[in-house]
Amino acid sequence: MPSGHILFAVHNGTYVLKFTGEIRAPMCATLDNFLEKIFVDDSLCSILIDLTETEYIDSTALGLIAKTAVFLQMYNRRKPIILSTNPDISRILESMGFDQVFIILACQNEEQCINELPEVEPSEQEMMEKVISAHRVLMGLSEQNQATFKSLVDALEMEQQAQGEDRI
């Protein structure tokens, strides 16, 4: 019974492969078959390989991961992305030259990779502009959104105009 898993998701030509646990040679036939299917997908545009929950990965699996970089380089000249938070795995990737053919986002832990946006204190006017702008974008997505948010945007714009007149 394998102690690792390979999960995947695909959306609009972007494939995400998530490797968890120990990834060893017996899993590689499945991975290779899947990669061959990806490589004939005309909608393929990018590949992200998530190794954040990988405890161990053998050289056979690394060779198949490298295959994605070789294919994408020939197919669309893009580098796949690897996300790694395990320092041992990141070190192996670098020592094998993966940093030459992949974009590697490597850090000691998830907190170092993912940062919180610094909070901004907008003025009331700036906040109003951002709310109106965001809702205008939503309105542009569909007729239903147009109908849903039109009265809100109209009301906010009237309030904004009234506040502007009060300042004069």
Report the sign of the C-alpha dihedral through residues 34, 102, 49, 25, in that order. positive
Between the alpha carbon of residue 90 and those of residues 25, 49, 97, the distances in Å are: 19, 13, 11
134 and 109 together in one domain: no
User: 124-161 pLDDT, tens per residue?
Assistant: 888 888 888 888 888 888 898 899 989 998 998 988 88
Whether 15 and 28 have beta carbons less than 8 Å apart is answered as no
| The total number of structural domains that make up the chain | 2
Per-residue pLDDT for 27 more than 70? yes
Average pLDDT rounded to a whole number, residues 51-73: 93
Residue in the block written with tokens 């506040």: 163
Q: What mean pLDDT do residues 80-84 have?
A: 94
Q: Are residues 102 and 53 in the same domain?
A: yes
Closest among 87, 46, 64, 45 to 6, alpha carbons compared: 64
86 and 131 co-located in one domain:
no
Average pLDDT over residues 66-90: 91
